[in-house]
Structure 1
Amino acid sequence: HLDEMATDAEAWQELGTIYASEGRLAQAAFCFEELLVHDPLNTLFLCVYAELQFGLGRFRLSRQYAAHVVSLQPQNSRALWTLILTSRNSLENACADRKGATRERVKKADRDRALNRNGTGAAAAEDELKTLLHLSLGAVRRLAGIYEKALAKGEENDDTPGGPLDSAFGAAALRRLAAHRVFFLSRAKEVNAKVGK
């Protein structure tokens, strides 16, 4: 069907969803790329594409798409969670690389720095790390604000169905966000980055 009707968004979405459910993330990502060609500002497609890129291990691309969704919809909790998870994963990988560096890699890095008098490579990596930390903490703060506001609203309206379950979920989400915040702040301390609390 898609050979004849390449612009059928519903068919692309269904095919992408099927591929994703089967774990064929690269094929699912292709389907959502096709959807984004036809509707580049659809935040659902952008979020799903960001999540697929995360699943494929393309954290920078995933983070870029999630940040784009947040720029379009600042209260999009799905995109904020994607930002937090991709940032955390990138930071964990960066810290593991730093800790796992052998003496040879350290010597090579020293030689490279000596050759590159400006140290722009190391400075760029440091700037990227600081930007990542600021982005991460901002996403945590924004998402915590969304949950706190929803919890406060739920307490005002006790007659809401599922109230206790919603408050339990909200409280658990806030605890998880607090754990992410501690992680990001500890990474900031490791690299001597000054970030807001």
Structure 2
Amino acid sequence: MSYNFEELSFSEAKDLLRKWRENNERRSDDVIELWTSVISDNVAKLGNEKHLVLEQVMYAALDCHAYHIAVMCTCMLSYEFPNSMRVLRYDAAYNEAKEAYGEALETLDKIIKADETNAAARKQRVAVLKSQGLINEAIKELVDYLKKFMSDVEAWQELCTLYSRQGEYARAAFCAEELLLHQPHNHLMHQRLADIRYTMGGVENMELAKSYYCQALKLNPDNMRALLGLFLTTNNLLSHYKSAGNAGKRKEVWKLCQWAQSGAARRQGQTRAPSAAAAPDLTQAMLALAIQD
């Protein structure tokens, strides 16, 4: 939705900023335009929302590289809260945006030294290290953070991603299992762990991946990525179950493979599932569907 900000009243502009905050809409360009055209000359009229708006505008200014606005908002907040750790984090964010990473880390270290339980500062420190490409250091910092804040789901997700980027899939799988403990009914968590197990390879990991893909599809039958993963996993396991002693497992895996094929066919709007001989072509089709999904 487009707005003509110059025609908005102050009350309407304030309500619009509140709406974006409550809906977690970043809208940085719009926030800056609204600030410059309506709000900036009447900051005192914001009342109890003054500090929230200043914070909102400050982060929007950093997104838009309008550093002069960010500095002005930070100075106004610093004047009212001279010893605030939260305002110090704004300084760190400002230095990070300007790629002054050393100064940003120095400010964050100062905050953490004053308050070891400041979770926001610790997570921001991880973000600064990532911005510098120091992935191993970011991992170490995140591990230390999770020793103190073990229930932080976002931190476990980030650590899982960082381990995967570094090729440390066993540790990534551990993080994914922790995520499952926190969100056992989230199909994406099951799918993520299955993806990692599939990437690790080997019969044992493939069997685990098959189980997690099945659970993801049980929780959300429309999860096309899990359907694709189940097809690829079962197709891989079929080559391992060729001996006579694995006839039962091979039959079960074959049924799952057929089921995954028919599910993909239905998603494509086909009237019948493709034959086993068409499996390689189906893989490409399912990949295309997963990307579109």
What pairs up with 1:143-162 in 2 under 5 angstroms? 143-148=264-269
Counterpart Cα distance in 2 of 1:51 and 1:179: 24
Structure-2 separation of matches of 1:179 and 1:41: 34
Alignment of 1:52-91 (within 5 A): 52-57=196-201, 58-91=205-238
Share of identical aligned residues, percent? Answer: 35
Do structure 1's residue 179 and structure 2's residue 278 form an aligned pair? yes
Aligned equivalents of 2:231, 2:269: Cα separation in 1? 17
Q: Which fold has the larger relative contact order, with Cα–Cα distance below 8 Å and residues 6 or more apart in sequence?
A: 1
Q: Does 1:140 align with 2:287?
A: no
Whether the aligned pair in 2 keeps the contact of 1:80 and 1:143 (CA below 8 Å) is yes
Tell me the alpha carbon deviations over residues 133-188 of structure 1, each in whole angstroms, 9 at most, x when there is no partner.
Answer: 11101111101211338xxxxxxxxxxxxxxxxxxxxxxxx99x9732899xxxxx
Contact 1:137 1:181 in 2 (8 A): no
Q: Which residue of 2 aligns with 1:130?
A: 251
The TM-score with structure 2 as length reference comes to: 0.42
Residues 1:24 and 2:168 are matched in the alignment: yes
Equivalent residue letter for 1:53: R
39, 47, 50: which one aligns with 2:191: 47
Let me know the Cα RMSD of the aligned residues: 2.5
8 A Cα contact 1:29 1:53, kept in partner: yes
Give the Cα–Cα distance (whole angstroms) in 1 for the partners of residues 281 and 188 of structure 2. Answer: 29
Answer whether contact 1:50 1:63 (CA < 8 A) is retained. yes
CA contact (8 A) 1:75 1:146 kept: no
Residue 93 of structure 1, CA deviation: 2.3
1:89 Cα deviation after fit: 0.8
Q: Which runs of 5+ in 2 are unaligned?
A: 1-144, 283-293
Instruction: Map Cα deviations across residues 24-76 of structure 1 (whole Å, 9 max, x no partner).
Output: 11111111111111111111111010011111221100000001111111121
Q: Which amino acid aligns with 1:43?
A: H
Q: Distance in 1 between matches of 2:239 and 2:254?
A: 12
Aligned mates of 2:267, 2:177 — CA distance in 1: 29
Determine helix, strand or coil for the equivalent of 1:148. Answer: coil
Amino acid in structure 2 at the alignment position of 1:129: R
TM-score, normalisation: structure 1: 0.61
Q: Distance in 1 between matches of 2:281 and 2:225?
A: 21
CA distance in 1, matches of 2:166, 2:268: 32
Give the distance between the partners of 1:181 and 1:72, measured in 2 at CA.
Answer: 27
Alignment check: 8 A CA contact 1:43 1:69 kept: yes
SS in 2 for 1:6: coil
Q: Which AA in structure 1 matches 2:170?
A: A
For residues 167 and 198 of structure 2, what CA distance do their matches in structure 1 show?
13
Kept in 1, the 8 Å contact 2:186–2:219? The answer is no
Larger radius of gyration: 2
Question: Which residue identity is paired with 1:54?
Answer: Y
- Shift of the 141–178 alpha-carbon distance from structure 1 to 2, 3 Å rule, reads farther
Take 2:153 and 2:268, find their aligned partners in 1: how far apart are those partners?
33
